[in-house]
Amino acid sequence: MPYVTADDGAQIFYKDWGDGGSPVVLSHGWPLNSDAWEATARFLAEHGHRAIAHDRRGHGRSSQTWNGNEMDTYADDLACLVDALDLTGMTLVGHSTGGGEIVRYVGRHGTSRVAGLVLVAAVPPLMLRTDDNPEGLPIEVFDGIRAGEAANRSQLYRDFADGPFFGHNRNGDVAQGFRDAFWLQGMACGHRAAYECIAAFSATDFRPDLAKVDVPTLVIHGDDDQIVPFEVGGKRSVGMVDGAVLTVYEGSGHALPDTDRDRLHADLLAFIDS
């Protein structure tokens, strides 16, 4: 299996699918791994693009390091992958926590290799409520997730999958297979990595990074997202990037790569090919 070596020696697993074409790098959500993007990677590769997806450190098949489970290191690991594969003209696509990772990549490494950015139900600009971010969610929300992670993370992942992540708690129509896959991928994440990543996705302030985005940007968000509420995430991010385009999926929740797959694939392909 292919790996790149991060600056501190961590091994970062990645998939590299397709016969060429413009590269698309897919960054996954918490506590998942690159398997969360496999349907999208296959779709893009079959439509003439090079689809690359990696397991964030601590997740999936990458090293479970004790340190580095925060956004700066996630972004630097992504830069190691991009540099190792010498990717240019790439489109960065990030779902949820992955949206934070690709925005922080731009903030730390610029856009010289980037053709476009797609934020899918993404955590920027800042999820946590602070004095200068009153629109955010209270710390008790994330403390509750941390408590669940510490007490019984297997049950936490089942509760997420059966509830707000896919929106199964709204109408109970999300396939068991999707929910099982969430639990399986979650349990492949290291316990410390998953715990620390809760702070990374909730308390990292991406507003300075968004200000540095100078490439075409598409923001996609469901207006019934129970994990990253539309008003906290996509609605505000689009206003922080010059020229960004917002596409709202009416009635959709957080897990758009699964629950709204066909529509998302069509929107991604149209953006990448434009």
Q: Is 254 a catalytic residue?
A: yes
CA 253, 255, 260, 263 torsion: positive or negative? positive
Q: Is 168 a catalytic residue?
A: no
The secondary structure element, H or E, covering residue 114 is strand 114-120
13 close to 60: Cβ distance less than 8 angstroms: yes
Say if strands 11-17 and 3-5 run parallel, antiparallel, or are unpaired: antiparallel
Q: Which residues contact 234 (CB under 8 A, 6 or more apart)?
A: 119, 121, 122, 219, 220, 221, 228, 246, 248
From the list 62, 96, 202, 252, the catalytic residue is 96
45-69 CB burial, b ≥16 within 10 A, e <16 = beeebbbbbbbbbbbbbbbbbeebb
The secondary structure element, H or E, covering residue 155 is helix 139-162
**3-state DSSP assignment of residue 29:** coil
Q: How many helices (H) and strands (E) does the chain have?
A: 11, 8
From the list 35, 209, 225, 267, the catalytic residue is 225
Q: Is 274 a catalytic residue?
A: no
Could you give phi then psi for residue 228, rounded to 5 degrees?
Answer: -115, 90
From the list 254, 258, 260, 267, the catalytic residue is 254
- d(CA 54, CA 90) in angstroms, rounded, equals 15
User: Which active-site residues does the annotation give?
Assistant: 96, 225, 254
